[in-house]
């Protein structure tokens, strides 16, 4: 087993919730499908062409929050495109339409660090593979290690550009599969159905976690079909602090260069 780890950061992020095309709400952490899109952009693959190769039967994906995150609503102006009756082609060619009252400010939920001036939105991503996904895993690993992404990476929308750094490969000898009946500290987002109990200690008041639970898209039906096939109900912290939980399934103790963490993948 190998786990490819890398960190990704940017000033802002927005991971649109799947409820509707024009929803203003954002997930706090990138869903599995968003991370698939980041990897596909790095590989230079065409839009909607990678859903089958990167599905949960091939790749395993986990995520950890590295900065204290918050959400704010901002108002944005979208360009109103109006058709020009003088255009013989019958296509939209004007950036304003005098018959309309003008653009309407649209609410838009943005993720940022608590201290925007000093911190960025930052996550750590973990990639591993199932038996059928080793080839695609190797392609991703080689491309990121050589720092040769084809397209620019973003945190959700195209204008929220991001950078990838601290790319490492953790080999099998530094990964231990464990299971425990006691409380353990888990650093990554967890499948909520396997969390039996969540604990906070009064003496750790200053480092209380901010916990969220959300239902996120995990897989699409197939290439060029964005209908959601699989959902992941995840429990996670919006701070770098780990969750103290009783976890009913196996998890992985991973020895990184600067720390040892416990993690599980989104698609368990």
- Map tokens 């590989």 to a residue: 43
Strand intervals (E) in 105-224: 105-113, 121-129, 163-170, 175-178, 184-186, 190-191, 195-198, 211-222
Percent of the chain with pLDDT over 90: 71
Q: What is the pLDDT of residues 170-188, one digit of tens each?
A: 999 999 999 999 999 999 9
pLDDT digits (tens, 9 = 90+) for 203-237: 665 666 689 999 999 999 999 998 899 999 999 99
H or E element at residue 37: helix 32-43
* Angle ∠(27,238,213) on CA atoms, nearest 5: 60
CA angle 216, 222, 228 (to 5 degrees): 25
State the chain's mean pLDDT as an integer: 88
Number of residues in the chain: 268
CA distance 235 to 190: 5
Task: Note if the pTM is more than 0.85.
Answer: yes
Measuring CA to CA, which residue among 81, 47, 72, 90 is closest to residue 220? 47
Q: What is the Cα–Cα distance from 188 to 222, expressed in whole angstroms?
A: 27
Residue 174: CB atoms within 10 A of its CB come to 15
Tell me how far apart the alpha carbons of residues 130 and 136 are, in angstroms, rounded to a whole number.
10
pLDDT at 204: 66
List 102's β-bridge partners, or say none: none
Residue pLDDT, tens place only, 113-166 = 999 999 999 999 999 999 899 999 999 999 999 888 889 899 998 889 999 999
Please, are residues 29 and 63 in contact by the beta-carbon 8 Å criterion? yes
How do residues 13-25 score in pLDDT, each as one tens digit?
A: 999 987 766 678 9
Domain 3-79+107-263 part of CATH 3.30.70.3120: yes
């Amino acid at each position: 087993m190998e786990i490819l780890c890398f960190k990704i950061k940017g000033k802002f992020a927005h991971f649109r919730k799947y409820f509707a095309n024009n929803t203003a709400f954002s997930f706090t952490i990138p869903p599995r499908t968003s991370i698939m899109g980041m990897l596909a952009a790095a590989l230079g693959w065409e839009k909607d062409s990678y859903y089958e190769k990167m599905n949960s039967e091939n790749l395993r994906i986990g995520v950890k929050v590295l900065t204290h995150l918050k959400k704010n609503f901002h108002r944005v102006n979208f360009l109103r495109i109006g058709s020009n009756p003088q255009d013989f082609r019958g296509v939209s060619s004007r950036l304003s339409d005098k018959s309309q009252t003008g653009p309407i400010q649209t609410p838009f939920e943005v993720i940022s660090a608590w201290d925007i001036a000093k911190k960025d939105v930052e996550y750590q991503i973990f990639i591993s593979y199932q038996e059928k996904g080793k080839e695609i895993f190797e392609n991703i690993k080689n491309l990121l290690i050589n720092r040769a992404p084809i397209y620019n990476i973003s945190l959700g929308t195209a204008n929220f550009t991001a950078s990838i750094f601290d790319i490492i490969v953790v080999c099998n000898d530094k990964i231990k599969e464990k299971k425990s009946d006691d409380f353990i500290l888990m650093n990554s987002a967890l499948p909520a159905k396997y969390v039996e109990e969540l604990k906070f200690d009064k003496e750790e008041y200053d480092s209380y976690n901010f916990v969220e639970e959300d239902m996120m898209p995990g897989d699409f039906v197939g290439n060029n079909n964005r209908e959601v096939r699989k959902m992941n109900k995840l429990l996670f912290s919006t701070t770098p602090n780990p969750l103290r939980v009783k976890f009913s399934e196996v998890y992985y103790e991973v020895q990184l260069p600067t720390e040892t963490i416990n993690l599980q993948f989104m698609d368990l």
